[in-house]
Amino acid sequence: MKISYHGHSVVKIKTKSHTILIDPFITGNEITDLKASEQQVDAILLTHGHDDHVGDTVEIAKKCNAIVIAPFELANYIQSKGVEVHPMGIGGEREFEFGKVKFTQAFHSSSTTTEDGNIIYLGMPTGIIFSAEGTTLYHAGDTGLFGDMKLIGERHDIDIAFLPIGSNFTMGPEDAAYATELIQPKIVVPIHYNTFPPIKQDPEYFKGLVKKVDVQVLSAGEFVTLS
């Protein structure tokens, strides 16, 4: 399995036979290396409904005939745009042909705003646990620190955790470092920082706070180094 980071919270997973995107915010993301029109994927996983996570989901899914897997209300919203979806809920787990997907809780919000200013509520925000080919990945989505991250780590042998460090809207570096202690992954990758001024952070500061876990600070387009 090849796992790459593409700025903000965008993660791409390539198994032997499938390509999966998580939170494909590409258009408008100045720190990504991707172009939405060039993506060829089989599935898109979404953590929540904010525009900087849903991003180019509809365009990519329609072009590739890809399935979108998302929390129930968000999945229904995406389906209304003419996209094939599979809705799931927190705590739910399902085996797909490309791997196993499980949604976890996250503490944040989830909505989108229409052109006329109406806010559409899109259900609960989530994290995602994805497993395939003997590797388990945890994408925390947008979240603050919460104690049940310890349960997530105890219930799943997590190889790679993608944790937000931007603060303001999510955990900052200190809380993300503590979350790493709770989860105990083999590798942690900081995400959701430096895309916009309110979430400007130094990932090396986060790295210095983390003990006994391999911290990999990745630029857009770089791959996680699996041992």
- 113-127: per-residue pLDDT in tens? 999 999 999 999 999
For the chain, the structural domain boundaries read 2-215
Q: How many Å apart are CA 55 and CA 98, to the nearest integer?
A: 22
**Which amino acid, one-letter code, is at 200?**
K
Give me the pLDDT at residue 59, please: 98
Give me the pLDDT at residue 100, please: 98
Give me the pLDDT at residue 82, please: 97
Give me the pLDDT at residue 185, please: 98
Measuring CA to CA, which residue among 36, 25, 27 is closest to residue 62? 36
Longest dimension (CA), the chain: 50
Kindly give the parts of the chain with pLDDT less than 50.
Answer: none
Give me the pLDDT at residue 49, please: 98
Q: What is the pLDDT of residues 31-41, one digit of tens each?
A: 999 999 999 99
Give me the pLDDT at residue 47, please: 98
Give me the pLDDT at residue 2, please: 97
- Copy the structure tokens of residue 148: 């049940």
Per the CB < 8 A criterion, the answer to whether 179 and 163 are in contact is yes
* Fold that domain 2-215 belongs to in CATH: Metallo-beta-lactamase; Chain A (3.60.15)
Cα–Cα distances in angstroms (integers) from residue 133 to residues 89, 118, 126, 160, in the given order: 24, 43, 23, 14
Q: How many CB atoms sit inside 10 A of residue 53's CB? A: 25
Count Cβ atoms within 10 A of the Cβ of residue 222 and give its class: 0-12 exposed, 13-18 middle, 19 or more buried.
middle
Q: How many Å apart are CA 107 and CA 23, to the nearest integer?
A: 17
Give me the pLDDT at residue 144, please: 98
Per the CB < 8 A criterion, the answer to whether 122 and 110 are in contact is yes
Q: How many residues does the chain have?
A: 227
Cα–Cα distances in angstroms (integers) from residue 114 to residues 51, 76, 111, in the given order: 11, 16, 10
Give me the pLDDT at residue 108, please: 98
pTM over 0.85: yes
Phi and psi for 137 in degrees, rounded to 5? Answer: -115, 140
